[in-house]
Amino acid sequence: MAAIETYGARYEGDALFIEGVSLHSVAAQFGTPTYVYSKAALTAAYGRLDAAVSQARAGRSYTLCYAVKANSNLAILNLLTKLGAGFDIVSGGELQRVLRAGGQANKVVFSGLGKTRDEIAMALQAGIKCFNVESEPELERLSEVASALKVKAPVSLRVNPDVDAKTHPYISTGLKNNKFGIAFDRARSVYQRAATLPGISIAGVDCHIGSQLTDASPLVEAMQKIVSLADDLANDGIQLHHICPGGGVGITYTSEPQIDLVRYANALQQALGNRAVELLLEPGRAIVGNAGVLLTKVEYVKLGANKNFLIVDAAMNDLIRPALYQAHHEIVEVQRTQTQQRKEFDVVGPVCESSDVLGYSRQLGATEGELLAVLSAGAYGFVMSSNYNTRPRAAEVMIDGVKATIVRDRETVQGLVSGEYLLD
Ligand SMILES: *Cc1c(COP(=O)(O)O)cnc(C)c1O
């Protein structure tokens, strides 16, 4: 694995800290399992991308629309609002979160292929920046709902540039046979149709080819394709206000190379040249992924003839990425031990599924009652958690310097059953 600092953490002596707070004290104060975020790591990750894009744009306009689905905690959305972010949402619920967190509707773009009439009306009333339209029927519906409200829906077509993101098939979204987006070769005629619809105003073009990319070239290739589409549209008399190549910049989970953000931003700018359009990006994972860990306690050490297990109090319901995508998360001891005290363990949760494994074949020295930190858990962690096995979802804590603040209470079983009723 990479140096522990890569993950926004560090050892003081042998105890693991996030900023100025030891994870032992977080567990003592808030219990486990708990998601622990670093305000400094989050701010730094946002700042790196923002600085790269700002420099490449050299005074031209751009907005980083953080993909809310990566981590939608209100404290995180509020922090990003203060840093100047816009937001990319995929549901009416996410819009309400953004507004509650103080985000500006006019910096919100709305992606997602199943927008309901109610969600569309809510977003129009809030005055969002743009709808990223994923199909022709959606375009017709948008025009209808907007016309009924006597407004125009600003739209961008999410086109499918048919570029292979070369990432896990479950997080690859830019190929032809994918459910997302409008086929590239149909885009021009769909824009023509959009131009005739009474409730539509054309604002931009968008794509998103996949997630956890470790090489920028597919992202740049997709950008070149949508820029050339924008040129074709200009020839057809349709001027765009913005161009958005989506999100997808990966993070280091183990040893994956990191996309060089300066080169990436410069390549996007080179594709745009002097066209008078705003650049939008929709980064999710790159902002929050390595700003969070999942803190968990060892319940049992189960030694076997062929395999040893550390049975911990976090499970696939808390962090589903390993089970869902065969994702690898580094797992480290909160109290560091000597190498010779370590054994090989599968780190597993208590859920009744064989796929409930947080990490296979890890060298760890933890004993019962000790703490482990599952790294790189800030993105697609808590947000994908469930209550499977009637497990209340974890608490979320944000560290800022020497201060640890609860930003979401641990759920209770009482709360879980509160909306359930017996027959008379
Ligand atoms: C999920 C998603 C993103 C963010 O993807 P990351 O890989 O987390 O950067 C951006 N845009 C759209 C449309 C998405 O669905």
Whether 381 lines ligand 1, by a CB cut-off of 6 Å, is no
Q: Which of 379, 315, 319 is nearest to 347 (CA)?
A: 315
Residue 352 among the catalytic residues: yes
Mean pLDDT (whole number) for 295-317: 97
Per-residue pLDDT, 5: 84
Which residues are CB-neighbours of 373 under 8 A, at least 6 positions away?
9, 16, 23, 36, 293, 294, 295, 296, 331, 332, 333, 334
For a ligand 1 pocket test, name from 64, 211, 261 the mutation site with the most ligand atoms within 8 angstroms of its C-beta.
Answer: 211
| Residue 423 alpha carbon to ligand 1 centre in Å | 43
pLDDT single digits (tens) 379-388: 999 999 999 9
Which amino acid type is present at position 402? V
| Residue 282 alpha carbon to ligand 1 centre in Å | 6
Gyration radius of the chain's alpha carbons:
23
Q: What number of other Cβ atoms are within 10 A of residue 267's Cβ?
A: 19
Whether 284 lines ligand 1, by a CB cut-off of 6 Å, is yes
Containing 88, the helix (H) or strand (E) segment is strand 86-89
Whether 156 lines ligand 1, by a CB cut-off of 6 Å, is no
Mean pLDDT (whole number) for 154-162: 95
Whether 211 lines ligand 1, by a CB cut-off of 6 Å, is yes
Q: What number of other Cβ atoms are within 10 A of residue 232's Cβ?
A: 12
Per-residue pLDDT, 225: 97
pLDDT single digits (tens) 106-140: 999 999 999 999 999 999 999 999 999 999 999 99
Task: Tell me what the pLDDT averaged over the chain comes to.
Answer: 96
Whether 356 lines ligand 1, by a CB cut-off of 6 Å, is no
Ligand 1 atom with least separation from CA of 380: 8
Write down the catalytic residue from 65, 207, 244, 352: 352
* SS3 (DSSP) at 337: coil
Ligand 1 atom with least separation from CA of 90: 15
Tokens of 44: 């730094």
Answer yes or no: is pLDDT of 54 > 90: yes
Residue 147: band (very low, low, confident or very high) from pLDDT cuts 50, 70, 90: very high
Per-residue pLDDT, 162: 87
Percentage of the chain exceeding pLDDT 70: 97
Spatial distance between the Cα atoms of 51 and 49, rounded to a whole number of angstroms: 5
pLDDT single digits (tens) 404-420: 999 999 999 999 999 99
Q: Is the pTM of this model over 0.85?
A: yes
Spatial distance between the Cα atoms of 163 and 161, rounded to a whole number of angstroms: 6
Whether 65 lines ligand 1, by a CB cut-off of 6 Å, is no
